[in-house]
Chain A
């Protein structure tokens, strides 16, 4: 693998490697060139995704550059024409002996009680290249074993060989330099500043790249030996980035995820939420048997009973009120195959188009599918401009944040951020356009407008706009990362802004959607008005005529419309496919009224949630690592998901549940395995034509991006039209506009059911700029009265410099102040009033 971190690889040259002439690229590091030609040079500090530092000296080899052979570190040496390299000479071997003896001087050799034992580069290379014995008889360095450097990572300083991998990762890759070498010489150790833990969202990567057992992660400590682990490669579904992971288990229990280097996606990195969410797979509270409500309570039932009960509800609703009285919400947790099966059940069997995989917090499907799309690699390609108009990628799509950060710092990508609050990218953005909530489109309009307008827009000053315009004018393609920066405002402004930006020549979009397989669910028809393959009802009807019993005649409702209809009593039966509107829908009051307003709820889920506990029938679903299939990430990249363990109890795959429900309704969905479904998708979905063959012949690690060949026929695609944007609201000096984004750690299932992460959510508080603090006459931590459209509550306030004056920030789905309680989805923008409890009201 080429080293993208430090050098641009260009040109060709020839070197002699262990007596053989091989090609190398100009600027390529010798260690990388050797690896490419199958010659492994032992090393500890060198990592292909980070800058070389030559710390450990393990990779020294004998090199002759025309001035006689000398020992040189191959990780610091760029290949040069005619270089003669011997990695196996006596001199090289003697040097390796010496380095290993030296590295082991202070190493405790406590391998029998070390988690790294069995997969430890130090252990392996000592066996392969070491002298076998040490001349060191003095006493070794001693430290307290192990010390926690964060909630998730423990540090054993005795084992550390000071390779600088973790500290380099923290500074270079993650941008959280919270660990550093402390002291000097023999006393050097890695450590944090006192009382300032290594609270990085990416800390787990340091555990993975540590070449010894110095860094260990609390969730895996003393759980297993590497030789007892079985693994499969899969794709993380915690968010929509789709990082490639190795799922490792022992005795039918998932014990660890390890990042796999997928060049177009995650480069081997994972975020801590994704890495440690495996604990929620094993949770004690997982649903293992179907539940049916009898006598007002949910009681365990047999599958046949539960399926029959659910089918009866659906059949009676169909008979009495027609298919429009049924709504299906969810599907972003599913595999592509399960999403297709559910789309076929809902649209092809039940005949309802009230189907939506997004929970009112995403983008309309016509925007997702209607704008020209870009891959992560295209967004991060050197020389371009990236406009991030969406959520804080560090909080919601952490590994995309790493890729963007790398592109800006190393590849000259200019980053323009359009957001209502400062984000993790603000510090490295060429221009950070922090605007008033609800005025996104104004900023976009000013951005594409004529240079030299000299006027502010949406609260962004003209100077910042000028810098941003210059960045776009500097040339190169423009890539937009598009998503919802705040769910407290109407999506129409985001859509309008996207439409305005799309007028810039050579612009394409990467959709920053929430939830694992939301893109796959939309692609396969779990969205109102769509059929599998990114086609409209009319566009896809003909294609499905032989496969589906029926196809809905007219587009149905999205989640917001469904919940509104349910609250008004127009929707009789609601099917929740791994969805929890009470926790995830932006307006909790509406969600609550909707769930109370329907006659019956049928839920499939891995855990009993706030919403599914209200259901009449709950069907336990098999989750991640328990099912096989494919998943689609935010780029449209389809990759293979693999099963490693069996689901708890009698929990079943979602596609099998759909299939059983259909059979109970008298229809055979026509597939008996995941492979059957993939085959049917390949023929039924135009955008996925040939997918099964393409996956079979592609690299498992990288997957394939759909559509495989050219765009879908234009007449079948959803046309992208700009909605009538909600009118711009007047600003009041006595009110605050609400901004609601997400933190990485929230009260969602993945965090809530993973013991290592349960204390990581920050908790709910209203976040204000210091200026507004003074204006309101409140102090940090004070309780204030928050007057929202739907309710008035008391909540603590904290200072957040990321929130601009006149706005109020609240995190979604946190304990304490819950943003969903404040949001009124019918209003284009939620406006709050905040009053001090000590008598001084806002604006006084």
Chain B
């Protein structure tokens, strides 16, 4: 757990090749690092800096801008409970304190066994289903203390192993971009664009 594994480094180079400028691949590569280790390690950031040709400080600058990149270890399941107005009106305050007691941690902490990290988040755009939460960004709606306990038991027992992958995993199916659709190393200033994008001046295609 540190730098990208050899397999991931190969994938990283493929991803870099999709962009006209290597630096554009920074965010996809940070996702890759987080998928590998569950969080983004300093070593991975330094490795990405080497691959992309920027300084490690610049990678850190990008990584730390985004809340969803974790720079500390988090649990296998990241539980985000909404703390915005609709959910609060529907009882998310109680839900959050119940969650703290149930998991034995305060907001922002990880359970000692490394299974759960509990966080309070701003609106996650499911106000009609308040109070709501996400487990590794998968929604659970109209959550009650009872259904929360049930969810925690199920997660701990591995009942959702198929539905909710460990923290960091973006998708079960790896995106494949056909070679003819890769932008390639085109200078963004030279005005050319990939052929598949068609003629911008309204040609027949």
The interface of chain A, by Cβ under 8 A from chain B, is 176-184, 191-196
Say whether B8 faces chain A, with CB atoms less than 8 Å apart: no
- Docked Cα-Cα span, A503 to B67, in Å, equals 60
Say whether B58 faces chain A, with CB atoms less than 8 Å apart: yes
CB distance from A529 to the nearest CB of B (A): 50
Are A193's CB and B64's CB within 8 A?
no
Complex interface bits, B30-59 against A, C-beta within 8 A gives 1, otherwise 0: 000000000000100110000000111111
- Docked Cα-Cα span, A622 to B65, in Å, equals 53
* Contact residue among B57, B65, B66 (Cβ-Cβ distance under 8 Å from A193): B57
Are B57's CB and A178's CB within 8 A?
yes
Are A192's CB and B57's CB within 8 A?
yes
Say whether B60 faces chain A, with CB atoms less than 8 Å apart: yes
Given the known interface contacts A193-B56, A196-B56, the answer about A180 and B61 at a Cβ–Cβ threshold of 8 Å is yes
* Contact residue among B42, B58, B67 (Cβ-Cβ distance under 8 Å from A177): B58
Contacts of B45 in A (CB 8 A): 193
* Contact residue among B42, B46, B54, B61 (Cβ-Cβ distance under 8 Å from A181): B61
Are B65's CB and A180's CB within 8 A?
no
The main secondary structure of chain B at its interface with chain A is: helix
Which among B58, B59, B61 has the highest number of chain A CB atoms within 10 Å? B61
- Docked Cα-Cα span, A196 to B42, in Å, equals 11
CB distance from A821 to the nearest CB of B (A): 36
Are A194's CB and B42's CB within 8 A?
yes
Are A178's CB and B55's CB within 8 A?
yes
Given the known interface contacts A193-B45, A194-B42, the answer about A177 and B57 at a Cβ–Cβ threshold of 8 Å is yes
Contacts of B57 in A (CB 8 A): 177-180, 182, 191-193, 196
CB distance from B75 to the nearest CB of A (A): 22
CB distance from A295 to the nearest CB of B (A): 59
Are B60's CB and A177's CB within 8 A?
no
Are B64's CB and A183's CB within 8 A?
yes
CB distance from A137 to the nearest CB of B (A): 25
Contacts of A194 in B (CB 8 A): 42, 60
Chain B residues 67 to 116 lying within 8 A of chain A, measured CB to CB, are 67
Given the known interface contacts A180-B61, A182-B61, the answer about A193 and B46 at a Cβ–Cβ threshold of 8 Å is yes
Are B64's CB and A182's CB within 8 A?
yes
Are B54's CB and A177's CB within 8 A?
yes
Known: A180-B61, A184-B65, A196-B57; 15 extra A-B contacts, CB below 8 A, are A177-B54, A177-B55, A181-B61, A182-B60, A183-B64, A183-B65, A184-B64, A191-B57, A192-B57, A193-B46, A193-B55, A193-B59, A194-B60, A196-B46, A196-B55
Closest residue of chain A to B63 (Cβ to Cβ) is A182
CB distance from B119 to the nearest CB of A (A): 16
- Docked Cα-Cα span, A192 to B54, in Å, equals 13
Contacts of A179 in B (CB 8 A): 57
- Docked Cα-Cα span, A181 to B60, in Å, equals 9
The interface of chain B, by Cβ under 8 A from chain A, is 42, 45-46, 54-61, 64-67
11 CB < 8 A contacts A-B = A177-B55, A177-B57, A178-B55, A182-B57, A184-B65, A184-B67, A193-B55, A193-B59, A193-B60, A196-B46, A196-B57
Contacts of B58 in A (CB 8 A): 177, 180
Closest residue of chain A to B42 (Cβ to Cβ) is A194
- Docked Cα-Cα span, A178 to B60, in Å, equals 10
Are B55's CB and A180's CB within 8 A?
yes
The 3 closest A-B pairs by CB, nearest first: A180-B61, A193-B56, A180-B57
Contacts of A178 in B (CB 8 A): 55, 57
Contacts of A193 in B (CB 8 A): 42, 45-46, 55-57, 59-60
- Docked Cα-Cα span, A176 to B56, in Å, equals 11
CB distance from B61 to the nearest CB of A (A): 4
- Docked Cα-Cα span, A303 to B55, in Å, equals 56
Contacts of A180 in B (CB 8 A): 55, 57-58, 60-61
- Docked Cα-Cα span, A178 to B58, in Å, equals 8
- Docked Cα-Cα span, A604 to B83, in Å, equals 76
- Docked Cα-Cα span, A184 to B69, in Å, equals 13
Contacts of A182 in B (CB 8 A): 57, 60-61, 64
Which among A177, A178, A193 has the highest number of chain B CB atoms within 10 Å? A193
Contacts of B61 in A (CB 8 A): 180-182
- Docked Cα-Cα span, A195 to B46, in Å, equals 11
- Docked Cα-Cα span, A183 to B56, in Å, equals 14
CB distance from A428 to the nearest CB of B (A): 13
- Docked Cα-Cα span, A131 to B158, in Å, equals 60
CB distance from A206 to the nearest CB of B (A): 13
Which among B45, B56, B57, B59 has the highest number of chain A CB atoms within 10 Å? B57
CB distance from B76 to the nearest CB of A (A): 25
- Docked Cα-Cα span, A180 to B62, in Å, equals 9
Contacts of A181 in B (CB 8 A): 61
Contacts of A176 in B (CB 8 A): 55
- Docked Cα-Cα span, A638 to B56, in Å, equals 42
- Docked Cα-Cα span, A181 to B57, in Å, equals 8
- Docked Cα-Cα span, A192 to B57, in Å, equals 6
Closest residue of chain B to A187 (Cβ to Cβ) is B64
CB distance from A168 to the nearest CB of B (A): 13
CB distance from A287 to the nearest CB of B (A): 43
- Docked Cα-Cα span, A806 to B49, in Å, equals 30
CB distance from B81 to the nearest CB of A (A): 21
CB distance from A424 to the nearest CB of B (A): 15
- Docked Cα-Cα span, A183 to B54, in Å, equals 18
- Docked Cα-Cα span, A177 to B45, in Å, equals 15
CB distance from B146 to the nearest CB of A (A): 36
Closest residue of chain A to B59 (Cβ to Cβ) is A193
CB distance from B59 to the nearest CB of A (A): 8
Contacts of B42 in A (CB 8 A): 193-195
Contacts of B59 in A (CB 8 A): 193
- Docked Cα-Cα span, A183 to B60, in Å, equals 9
- Docked Cα-Cα span, A181 to B65, in Å, equals 9
Contacts of B66 in A (CB 8 A): 184
- Docked Cα-Cα span, A193 to B48, in Å, equals 13
- Docked Cα-Cα span, A379 to B178, in Å, equals 47
- Docked Cα-Cα span, A77 to B200, in Å, equals 31
- Docked Cα-Cα span, A687 to B66, in Å, equals 63
Contacts of B60 in A (CB 8 A): 180, 182, 191, 193-194
Contacts of A196 in B (CB 8 A): 46, 55-57
CB distance from B100 to the nearest CB of A (A): 24
Closest residue of chain B to A192 (Cβ to Cβ) is B57
Contacts of B56 in A (CB 8 A): 193, 196
Closest residue of chain A to B66 (Cβ to Cβ) is A184
CB distance from B71 to the nearest CB of A (A): 10
CB distance from B57 to the nearest CB of A (A): 4
